[in-house]
Amino acid sequence: METAALQRIVDKYVEAFEKADLNMIRQLYAEDATLEDPAGSPARHGIEEILEFYKAGFAMGMKLKLDGKPRCAGNSVAFAFDGVMKKMTISPIDVFEVNANGKVQHMRAYWGPENVS
Amino acid sequence: METAALQRIVDKYVEAFEKADLNMIRQLYAEDATLEDPAGSPARHGIEEILEFYKAGFAMGMKLKLDGKPRCAGNSVAFAFDGVMKKMTISPIDVFEVNANGKVQHMRAYWGPENVS
């Protein structure tokens, strides 16, 4: 997958949080995508479960600030960011695996309590 | 897996580069581990192929500087860093999946040309 396409997905992701726009999230993900946040926890399956997850994040007013450039490799992109909310900031690394249609097929967010401030 | 154990693996990893100590790398990995660097490229299989890879990195004098705290989640840890060499710096995000024996079973390094300076 082209680096520019992977970077665009990350840009759109940041913008979706900026606008709290669930429809933008819907457009980024495959219908049958999975999401693990945090990685290793039971996965959410399918776009409807995934949208519920973002709805909660948007309700907390979370905005994303990228920490460095996205790292694109093969059909994946990893990126570090601060998720800034009113009373706390969470600093995960997300990894998106993107399918042949350019949609996020698997999302894993790596973070623990020590990444919350 | 305990956060402290995952963080210790990352600390040992940084130290192995500092000392260019292949034996420390050997102790971190499972015998039958796999390594994809960059992610999506053909995996190296088994500790001997993996050690060949690090031998090359050590020959280039690479030293690691962590960029932020490791992100520990489940049995995985993701971390951003600068790999500093004489004439260039590479800034990947690595993800280690650790097995029940506390050894790295899968390593994937996310980076592309845009993460080299």
ipTM of model: 0.96
Q: Which of A72, A75, A97 to probe by mutation at the B interface, max B CB count within 10 Å?
A: A72
Say if residues A48 and A22 touch (Cβ distance below 8 Å): no
- Interface membership of B114 toward A (CB under 8 Å): yes
Among B11, B21, B37, B54, the active-site one is B37
Q: What is the mean pLDDT of residues B12-35?
A: 98
In whole angstroms, give the CA distance from residue B17 to residue B93.
16
> Which residues of B are less than 8 Å from A72 in CB distance?
110-112, 114
Strand partners, B106: B34, B97
In whole angstroms, give the CA distance from residue B69 to residue B65.
11
User: Given a cut of 90, is residue B1 above it in pLDDT?
Assistant: no
- pTM to 2 decimal places: 0.97
Among A29, A37, A54, A94, the active-site one is A37
Q: What is the mean pLDDT of residues A14-25?
A: 98
CATH of A3-115, one of 3.10.450.50, 2.40.100.20, 3.30.360.10, 3.40.50.2300: 3.10.450.50
**DSSP label of B43:** P
Q: Return the pLDDT at A1.
A: 86
Strand partners, A45: A34
- Interface membership of A2 toward B (CB under 8 Å): no
Q: How many CB atoms lie within 10 A of CB A60?
A: 11
- Residue B54 is among the residues annotated as catalytic for this protein: no
Q: Where are the domains of chain A?
A: 3-115
- pLDDT tens-digit map of A28-81: 999 999 999 999 999 999 999 999 999 999 999 999 999 999 999 999 999 999
Q: Which of A108, A14, A89, A91 is nearest to B71 (CA)?
A: A91
Q: Which amino acid is at B18?
A: E
Q: Return the pLDDT at B106.
A: 98
- Residue A37 is among the residues annotated as catalytic for this protein: yes
CA distance A36 to chain B (A): 10
Q: How many CB atoms lie within 10 A of CB A17?
A: 21
Say if residues B62 and B21 touch (Cβ distance below 8 Å): no
Q: How many Cα neighbours within 13 Å face the side chain of B46?
A: 2
